[in-house]
Amino acid sequence: MPSRSPIHIKPTRIGLIGGLAARAGIYYYERILQEYQGAKIALDLTLRHADMGTVLRHVGSGDRVGLGHYLGSLANELFDAGMDTVSITAVAPHLAIDEIKKRAKGPIIDVLATIPGALKSAGFERVAIFGNRAVMTSAVFGAVPEDMVVKLDPSEIARVHETYTDIALSGKRGTKAEVAYFDDLAGDLLGRRGAQAIMLAGTDLSSFYADREPDFPFLDVSALHIEQILAGI
């Protein structure tokens, strides 16, 4: 993991759309709150709960328009409540980020925009991606150039997706067996297949490793997103 740059906190009225997995919104909420408390800056932080089943159906079917309409409407509820910015506390719903932005009344902090610069800053030229199936098979919706992706085989994609979905739905931290599987797969991707790091492209992987960071080189997309939210860009 590259060393963390200082965060320059800007917005004071932040809206989050959570409910997309059991721990995702809470993870963002806690991390943002910690930064503001540490900086002794007053914060108006509002978490709006989305229906996970609705989001997963849209993501699973690739329905960008329906997802954009649904999450854009929730974002506008937050803007109507006086929020300066709104962010979606999961990577997979960024499938519809363009549609959400078109519908929203204010700025949506887009996690996909952070990824190219973070890869360049870290010096990573080859990465493997862990997350939801849609995120893995689309190279994080095109945010990672295809020629930089060390691809998992179909059975690995299926197992990572199933494990990730179970983590997201149950809100649990990693079991020993799950941690061992990710460690072994990462070791093979890094040691034999040429990856330089594993991209953790799912908020629930961030909370999965909250108690102990992975032993392998990684890039945490949720951490990038939170820094972007704090900077208000």
Q: Is residue 53 part of a domain?
A: yes
What is the structure's pLDDT at 5?
46
Q: Is residue 179 part of a domain?
A: yes
Q: Do 158 and 97 have their domain in common?
A: no
Q: Is residue 8 part of a domain?
A: no
Residues 6 or more apart whose CB falls under 8 angstroms from that of 127 comprise 119, 144, 148, 149, 150, 195, 196, 197, 198, 199, 219
pTM of the model: 0.89
Q: Is residue 7 part of a domain?
A: no
> Which residues constitute the domain of residue 204?
113-223
Q: What percentage of the chain carries pLDDT values higher than 90?
A: 70
Task: For residue range 95-145, list pLDDT tens digits in order.
Answer: 999 999 999 999 999 999 999 999 999 999 999 999 999 999 999 999 999
Tell me which amino acid residue 34 is.
Q
Q: Do 141 and 90 have their domain in common?
A: no
CATH number at residue 22: 3.40.50.1860
Task: For residue range 66-100, list pLDDT tens digits in order.
Answer: 999 999 999 999 999 999 999 999 999 999 999 99
Q: Is residue 120 part of a domain?
A: yes
Q: Do 66 and 128 have their domain in common?
A: no
- CA–CA separation, 200 and 196 (whole Å): 13
Q: Do 99 and 117 have their domain in common?
A: no
Q: Do 127 and 146 have their domain in common?
A: yes
Q: Do 84 and 27 have their domain in common?
A: yes
Q: Do 211 and 139 have their domain in common?
A: yes
Q: Is residue 1 part of a domain?
A: no
Q: Do 102 and 133 have their domain in common?
A: no
| Residue 140, φ and ψ in degrees, nearest 5 | 55, 55
- CA–CA separation, 127 and 219 (whole Å): 9
Q: Do 119 and 218 have their domain in common?
A: yes
Q: Do 89 and 125 have their domain in common?
A: no
Domain count for the chain, please give it: 2
Task: For residue range 147-204, list pLDDT tens digits in order.
Answer: 999 999 999 999 999 998 888 777 666 678 888 999 999 999 999 999 999 999 988 8
> How far from 79 is each of 27, 36, 180, 196, CA to CA, in Å?
22, 21, 42, 40
Q: Do 61 and 99 have their domain in common?
A: yes
Across-strand partners of 88?
Answer: 17
Q: Is residue 161 part of a domain?
A: yes
Q: Do 98 and 123 have their domain in common?
A: no
Among 148, 143, 125, which Cα is nearest to 201's? 143
Q: Is residue 54 part of a domain?
A: yes
Run of H or E residues at 69: helix 64-80
